[in-house]
Amino acid sequence: MLLIAENLELELKAKLFRGFAETSRLSILEALRAQPLNVGELVQITELSQSNISNHLACLRDCGLVTNEQRGRYTYYRLTDDRIDGLLRMAEEVLSDVANGVYQCTRYERPTES
Amino acid sequence: MLLIAENLELELKAKLFRGFAETSRLSILEALRAQPLNVGELVQITELSQSNISNHLACLRDCGLVTNEQRGRYTYYRLTDDRIDGLLRMAEEVLSDVANGVYQCTRYERPTES
DNA sequence: CAAGCATATCATCAAGTAGTGATGTGATGA
DNA sequence: TCATCACATCACTACTTGATGATATGCTTG
Protein backbone atom coordinates (compact mmCIF):
# COMPACT_ATOMS: atom_id res chain seq x y z
CA MET A 1 0.00 0.00 0.00
CA LEU A 2 1.20 3.43 -0.92
CA LEU A 3 -1.49 5.07 1.16
CA ILE A 4 0.92 6.49 3.68
CA ALA A 5 3.17 8.01 1.06
CA GLU A 6 0.18 9.31 -0.87
CA ASN A 7 -1.32 10.92 2.20
CA LEU A 8 2.01 12.47 3.03
CA GLU A 9 2.32 13.94 -0.45
CA LEU A 10 -1.24 15.18 -0.23
CA GLU A 11 -0.62 16.87 3.09
CA LEU A 12 2.56 18.46 1.84
CA LYS A 13 0.83 19.85 -1.18
CA ALA A 14 -2.08 21.16 0.87
CA LYS A 15 0.36 22.73 3.27
CA LEU A 16 2.19 24.41 0.44
CA PHE A 17 -1.04 25.91 -0.86
CA ARG A 18 -2.02 26.95 2.65
CA GLY A 19 0.92 29.33 2.57
CA PHE A 20 -0.83 31.23 -0.22
CA ALA A 21 -4.35 30.75 1.05
CA GLU A 22 -4.70 33.69 3.38
CA THR A 23 -4.65 37.39 2.59
CA SER A 24 -2.00 38.38 5.12
CA ARG A 25 0.51 35.75 4.03
CA LEU A 26 -0.35 36.35 0.42
CA SER A 27 0.30 40.09 0.73
CA ILE A 28 3.68 39.29 2.27
CA LEU A 29 4.50 36.98 -0.62
CA GLU A 30 3.30 39.52 -3.15
CA ALA A 31 5.50 42.18 -1.60
CA LEU A 32 8.48 39.86 -1.77
CA ARG A 33 7.95 39.12 -5.45
CA ALA A 34 9.49 42.46 -6.34
CA GLN A 35 12.50 42.38 -4.02
CA PRO A 36 13.84 41.14 -0.70
CA LEU A 37 12.50 43.15 2.23
CA ASN A 38 13.10 43.36 5.93
CA VAL A 39 10.35 43.05 8.49
CA GLY A 40 9.93 46.77 9.04
CA GLU A 41 9.48 47.33 5.34
CA LEU A 42 6.93 44.56 5.21
CA VAL A 43 5.06 46.17 8.08
CA GLN A 44 4.93 49.44 6.15
CA ILE A 45 3.86 47.88 2.89
CA THR A 46 1.28 45.44 4.18
CA GLU A 47 0.03 47.57 7.07
CA LEU A 48 -0.08 44.54 9.30
CA SER A 49 1.21 44.54 12.86
CA GLN A 50 4.78 43.53 13.55
CA SER A 51 3.93 40.47 15.59
CA ASN A 52 1.38 39.38 13.06
CA ILE A 53 3.90 39.60 10.25
CA SER A 54 6.50 37.87 12.31
CA ASN A 55 4.15 35.02 13.03
CA HIS A 56 3.30 34.58 9.36
CA LEU A 57 6.93 34.86 8.36
CA ALA A 58 7.80 32.10 10.77
CA CYS A 59 5.26 29.87 9.08
CA LEU A 60 6.35 30.83 5.57
CA ARG A 61 9.96 30.28 6.55
CA ASP A 62 9.26 26.91 8.14
CA CYS A 63 7.34 25.91 5.05
CA GLY A 64 10.24 26.87 2.82
CA LEU A 65 8.41 29.55 0.85
CA VAL A 66 10.71 32.30 2.05
CA THR A 67 14.25 32.40 3.38
CA ASN A 68 15.80 34.96 5.65
CA GLU A 69 19.22 36.55 5.91
CA GLN A 70 20.55 38.62 8.78
CA ARG A 71 22.12 41.98 7.96
CA GLY A 72 23.01 43.76 11.15
CA ARG A 73 19.88 44.23 13.14
CA TYR A 74 17.70 43.70 10.11
CA THR A 75 16.34 40.43 8.82
CA TYR A 76 15.76 40.34 5.10
CA TYR A 77 13.28 37.93 3.58
CA ARG A 78 12.95 36.76 0.01
CA LEU A 79 11.11 34.07 -1.94
CA THR A 80 13.13 30.87 -1.96
CA ASP A 81 12.37 29.91 -5.51
CA ASP A 82 11.38 31.54 -8.78
CA ARG A 83 8.67 28.97 -9.21
CA ILE A 84 6.83 30.48 -6.27
CA ASP A 85 6.51 33.57 -8.39
CA GLY A 86 5.42 31.27 -11.19
CA LEU A 87 2.66 29.79 -9.06
CA LEU A 88 1.38 33.26 -8.26
CA ARG A 89 1.50 34.21 -11.90
CA MET A 90 -0.38 31.12 -12.98
CA ALA A 91 -2.97 31.76 -10.28
CA GLU A 92 -3.54 35.16 -11.82
CA GLU A 93 -4.08 33.57 -15.19
CA VAL A 94 -6.63 31.15 -13.84
CA LEU A 95 -8.30 33.96 -11.96
CA SER A 96 -8.69 36.05 -15.05
CA ASP A 97 -10.94 33.29 -16.38
CA VAL A 98 -12.54 32.03 -13.23
CA ALA A 99 -12.79 35.32 -11.38
CA ASN A 100 -16.52 35.53 -11.70
CA GLY A 101 -16.98 32.17 -10.09
CA VAL A 102 -14.54 32.88 -7.29
CA TYR A 103 -16.10 36.23 -6.68
CA GLN A 104 -19.46 34.64 -6.17
CA CYS A 105 -18.17 32.00 -3.76
CA THR A 106 -19.69 33.22 -0.51
CA ARG A 107 -19.70 29.87 1.22
CA TYR A 108 -17.05 30.71 3.77
CA GLU A 109 -17.38 34.43 3.51
CA ARG A 110 -20.53 35.95 4.94
CA PRO A 111 -21.97 33.22 7.12
CA THR A 112 -24.37 35.35 9.18
CA GLU A 113 -25.63 37.67 6.49
CA SER A 114 -29.41 37.78 6.39
CA MET B 1 -6.56 54.80 -4.33
CA LEU B 2 -6.51 51.31 -5.74
CA LEU B 3 -6.61 49.77 -2.30
CA ILE B 4 -10.10 48.42 -2.70
CA ALA B 5 -9.33 46.81 -6.02
CA GLU B 6 -6.03 45.48 -4.72
CA ASN B 7 -7.66 44.01 -1.67
CA LEU B 8 -10.31 42.43 -3.82
CA GLU B 9 -7.72 40.86 -6.07
CA LEU B 10 -5.82 39.66 -3.02
CA GLU B 11 -8.87 38.07 -1.52
CA LEU B 12 -9.77 36.42 -4.79
CA LYS B 13 -6.32 34.95 -5.11
CA ALA B 14 -6.30 33.75 -1.51
CA LYS B 15 -9.69 32.20 -2.03
CA LEU B 16 -8.49 30.42 -5.13
CA PHE B 17 -5.58 28.92 -3.22
CA ARG B 18 -7.86 28.02 -0.35
CA GLY B 19 -9.54 25.60 -2.72
CA PHE B 20 -6.30 23.63 -2.87
CA ALA B 21 -5.24 24.20 0.72
CA GLU B 22 -6.94 21.33 2.43
CA THR B 23 -6.42 17.61 2.05
CA SER B 24 -10.06 16.68 1.43
CA ARG B 25 -10.59 19.24 -1.31
CA LEU B 26 -7.18 18.52 -2.73
CA SER B 27 -7.90 14.80 -2.95
CA ILE B 28 -11.12 15.61 -4.78
CA LEU B 29 -9.22 17.79 -7.24
CA GLU B 30 -6.53 15.16 -7.68
CA ALA B 31 -9.14 12.54 -8.45
CA LEU B 32 -10.72 14.83 -11.03
CA ARG B 33 -7.40 15.42 -12.79
CA ALA B 34 -7.70 12.04 -14.46
CA GLN B 35 -11.33 12.17 -15.52
CA PRO B 36 -14.78 13.51 -14.67
CA LEU B 37 -16.40 11.65 -11.82
CA ASN B 38 -19.75 11.59 -10.10
CA VAL B 39 -20.17 12.02 -6.38
CA GLY B 40 -20.48 8.34 -5.61
CA GLU B 41 -17.24 7.62 -7.41
CA LEU B 42 -15.56 10.42 -5.51
CA VAL B 43 -16.81 8.94 -2.26
CA GLN B 44 -15.27 5.60 -3.20
CA ILE B 45 -11.95 7.04 -4.30
CA THR B 46 -11.40 9.55 -1.54
CA GLU B 47 -13.05 7.55 1.24
CA LEU B 48 -14.74 10.67 2.54
CA SER B 49 -18.37 10.81 3.61
CA GLN B 50 -21.02 11.79 1.09
CA SER B 51 -22.08 14.95 2.86
CA ASN B 52 -18.50 15.97 3.42
CA ILE B 53 -17.71 15.59 -0.26
CA SER B 54 -20.87 17.37 -1.23
CA ASN B 55 -19.99 20.31 1.01
CA HIS B 56 -16.52 20.57 -0.47
CA LEU B 57 -17.85 20.22 -3.99
CA ALA B 58 -20.25 23.06 -3.37
CA CYS B 59 -17.31 25.24 -2.37
CA LEU B 60 -15.16 24.14 -5.29
CA ARG B 61 -18.05 24.70 -7.65
CA ASP B 62 -18.85 28.13 -6.26
CA CYS B 63 -15.19 29.02 -6.53
CA GLY B 64 -15.13 27.95 -10.15
CA LEU B 65 -12.53 25.23 -9.75
CA VAL B 66 -14.94 22.49 -10.82
CA THR B 67 -18.09 22.40 -12.88
CA ASN B 68 -20.91 19.92 -12.72
CA GLU B 69 -23.16 18.30 -15.24
CA GLN B 70 -26.31 16.33 -14.56
CA ARG B 71 -26.65 12.92 -16.18
CA GLY B 72 -29.81 11.28 -14.99
CA ARG B 73 -29.58 10.93 -11.24
CA TYR B 74 -25.84 11.35 -11.29
CA THR B 75 -23.92 14.59 -11.08
CA TYR B 76 -20.58 14.53 -12.81
CA TYR B 77 -17.82 16.90 -11.81
CA ARG B 78 -14.71 17.94 -13.69
CA LEU B 79 -11.99 20.57 -13.44
CA THR B 80 -13.10 23.75 -15.17
CA ASP B 81 -9.74 24.60 -16.69
CA ASP B 82 -6.56 22.86 -17.76
CA ARG B 83 -4.57 25.46 -15.89
CA ILE B 84 -5.89 24.07 -12.64
CA ASP B 85 -4.05 20.91 -13.53
CA GLY B 86 -1.10 23.14 -14.36
CA LEU B 87 -1.18 24.72 -10.94
CA LEU B 88 -1.13 21.30 -9.32
CA ARG B 89 1.73 20.23 -11.53
CA MET B 90 3.75 23.32 -10.73
CA ALA B 91 3.08 22.82 -7.04
CA GLU B 92 4.59 19.37 -7.37
CA GLU B 93 7.68 20.87 -8.95
CA VAL B 94 8.12 23.38 -6.17
CA LEU B 95 7.53 20.66 -3.62
CA SER B 96 10.24 18.49 -5.08
CA ASP B 97 12.67 21.23 -4.12
CA VAL B 98 11.06 22.65 -1.05
CA ALA B 99 9.69 19.42 0.35
CA ASN B 100 12.16 19.29 3.18
CA GLY B 101 11.15 22.70 4.39
CA VAL B 102 7.46 22.03 4.09
CA TYR B 103 7.86 18.70 5.78
CA GLN B 104 9.51 20.32 8.75
CA CYS B 105 6.86 23.02 9.10
CA THR B 106 5.19 21.91 12.29
CA ARG B 107 3.81 25.29 13.23
CA TYR B 108 0.20 24.39 12.59
CA GLU B 109 0.66 20.69 12.72
CA ARG B 110 1.40 19.20 16.11
CA PRO B 111 0.63 21.96 18.56
CA THR B 112 0.43 19.87 21.70
CA GLU B 113 3.35 17.55 21.12
CA SER B 114 5.72 17.50 24.03
C1' DC C 1 -47.57 7.80 -7.81
C1' DA C 2 -44.71 5.29 -4.66
C1' DA C 3 -40.23 3.55 -3.55
C1' DG C 4 -35.48 3.95 -3.88
C1' DC C 5 -31.28 5.94 -5.23
C1' DA C 6 -27.97 10.00 -5.83
C1' DT C 7 -26.97 14.21 -4.21
C1' DA C 8 -27.66 18.66 -1.70
C1' DT C 9 -28.55 21.25 2.38
C1' DC C 10 -28.55 22.35 7.19
C1' DA C 11 -27.52 22.63 12.17
C1' DT C 12 -24.17 21.51 15.26
C1' DC C 13 -19.80 20.56 17.26
C1' DA C 14 -14.91 20.46 17.64
C1' DA C 15 -10.57 21.75 16.02
C1' DG C 16 -7.69 25.00 13.78
C1' DT C 17 -5.83 29.38 13.33
C1' DA C 18 -5.41 34.58 12.63
C1' DG C 19 -4.75 38.67 15.36
C1' DT C 20 -3.27 41.09 19.51
C1' DG C 21 -0.53 42.64 23.38
C1' DA C 22 3.10 41.66 26.33
C1' DT C 23 7.46 40.09 26.79
C1' DG C 24 11.97 37.99 25.37
C1' DT C 25 16.33 38.20 22.64
C1' DG C 26 20.07 39.78 20.19
C1' DA C 27 22.57 43.35 17.77
C1' DT C 28 24.17 48.25 17.76
C1' DG C 29 26.01 52.39 19.31
C1' DA C 30 26.54 56.17 22.67
C1' DT D 1 27.30 48.53 29.85
C1' DC D 2 23.13 50.56 29.21
C1' DA D 3 19.54 52.24 26.21
C1' DT D 4 17.48 51.39 22.02
C1' DC D 5 16.17 49.31 17.87
C1' DA D 6 14.56 45.24 15.02
C1' DC D 7 12.55 41.22 15.38
C1' DA D 8 10.87 36.76 17.55
C1' DT D 9 8.07 34.31 20.74
C1' DC D 10 4.20 33.33 23.64
C1' DA D 11 -0.40 33.15 25.81
C1' DC D 12 -4.82 34.22 24.88
C1' DT D 13 -9.14 35.32 22.48
C1' DA D 14 -12.32 35.24 18.84
C1' DC D 15 -13.51 33.72 14.64
C1' DT D 16 -13.29 30.36 10.90
C1' DT D 17 -14.17 26.12 9.09
C1' DG D 18 -13.99 20.92 8.44
C1' DA D 19 -16.66 16.81 9.76
C1' DT D 20 -20.86 14.62 11.01
C1' DG D 21 -25.70 13.11 11.17
C1' DA D 22 -30.20 14.17 9.95
C1' DT D 23 -33.11 15.69 6.60
C1' DA D 24 -34.59 17.62 2.10
C1' DT D 25 -34.69 17.52 -2.99
C1' DG D 26 -34.83 15.58 -7.36
C1' DC D 27 -34.54 11.97 -10.72
C1' DT D 28 -35.96 7.25 -12.28
C1' DT D 29 -38.20 3.12 -12.58
C1' DG D 30 -41.78 -0.09 -11.52
Mean of per-residue pLDDT scores for chain B: 85
Those residues with Cβ within 8 angstroms of residue A32's Cβ, 6 or more apart along the chain or in another chain: A42, A66, A77, A78, A79
The string of pLDDT tens digits covering residues A68-97 is: 999 999 999 999 999 999 999 999 999 887
Mean of per-residue pLDDT scores for chain A: 85
Chain A residues with beta carbon closer than 8 angstroms to that of B48 = none
The reply to whether A79 falls in a domain is yes
pTM of the model: 0.86
The string of pLDDT tens digits covering residues B6-44 is: 788 899 999 999 999 999 999 999 999 999 999 999 999
Q: Which one of B8, B12, B24, B85 would you mutate to disrupt binding with A, by most A Cβ within 10 Å of its Cβ?
A: B12
pLDDT of residue A97: 73
Nearest to B77 by CA among B49, B48, B107, B54: B54
Q: What is the CATH number of the domain that holds B19?
A: 1.10.10.10
Nucleotide nearest to B52 (CA to C1'): D19
The reply to whether B113 falls in a domain is no
The reply to whether B109 falls in a domain is no
Out of A20, A100, A105, name the one closest to residue B17 (CB): A20
The reply to whether B92 falls in a domain is yes
pLDDT of residue B5: 66
The reply to whether B108 falls in a domain is no
Q: How far is the CA of B98 from the C1' of C26 (A)?
A: 29
The string of pLDDT tens digits covering residues A47-59 is: 999 999 999 999 9
The reply to whether A3 falls in a domain is no
CB burial of B73-92 (b: ≥16 within 10 Å; e: otherwise) equals: eebbbebbbebbeebbebbe
pLDDT of residue A108: 46
pLDDT of residue A112: 33
Q: For strand C, is any atom closer than 7 Å to the CB of A15? A: no
In the predicted structure, residue A107 carries a pLDDT above the cut 70: no
Total domains present in chain B:
1
Give the residue numbers spanning the domain of B63: 14-102
The reply to whether A113 falls in a domain is no
Please tell me the distance from the alpha carbon of residue B10 to that of residue B60, in angstroms, as a whole number: 18
pLDDT of residue B112: 34
Please tell me the distance from the alpha carbon of residue A26 to that of residue B43, in angstroms, as a whole number: 32
The reply to whether A42 falls in a domain is yes
